[in-house]
Amino acid sequence: MNYWLVKSEPDKYGWHHFVEQGRAIWDGVRNYQARNNLNAMRVGDQVLFYHSVTNPGVVGLAKVVKEAYPDPTAANELNAPSTRWVVVELEPVLALPAPVTLSRIKAEPLLANVALIKQSRLSVMPIRPDEFEMILKLGQD
């Protein structure tokens, strides 16, 4: 079991929209490091859903339901999906009772090394098990 965090701007694709749809094709990733992380996801892995830009923070938990395949929104010269970029499919699991804001994450010593803080622009990143547990715990109250 691996743990991840994905970012989305709530004005573009927020948690609410995700829950309404019931399933998301996580497309549009155009960064190699983020792409490599998508490729490493396995069915059943747990994924923290983070809102960036507007009220930044972790708002919910999702799970991987389909592993990486070519991104249909990334066409190559032959107008076929490029194999360079990939998508995964995610389903919502639960909304956190209390969103864990970025400022709260920054204030927690055990979360001082999360990629979210170290690499602020990365949109798909791994989360250590202890970090994952801490964020879920903070989201309970």
Q: Say which residues have a Cβ less than 8 Å from residue 98's Cβ, sequence separation at least 6.
A: 138, 139, 140, 141
Dihedral (C-alpha) 73, 78, 82, 88: value to the nearest 10 degrees? 50
Of 39, 25, 92, 36, nearest in space to 68 by CA:
39
Cβ atoms within 10 Å, residue 115: 18
Q: Does 31 participate in binding DNA (rule CB under 7 A)?
A: yes
Q: Does 75 participate in binding DNA (rule CB under 7 A)?
A: no
Q: Does 122 participate in binding DNA (rule CB under 7 A)?
A: yes
Q: Does 123 participate in binding DNA (rule CB under 7 A)?
A: yes
Cα 93 from Cα 78, distance rounded (Å): 38
Q: Does 36 participate in binding DNA (rule CB under 7 A)?
A: no
Nearest-approach distance from CB 79 to DNA, in angstroms = 18
Nearest-approach distance from CB 132 to DNA, in angstroms = 18
Nearest-approach distance from CB 43 to DNA, in angstroms = 25
Residues making contact with DNA (CB under 7 A): 7, 9, 31-33, 52-53, 56, 102-103, 106, 116, 119-123
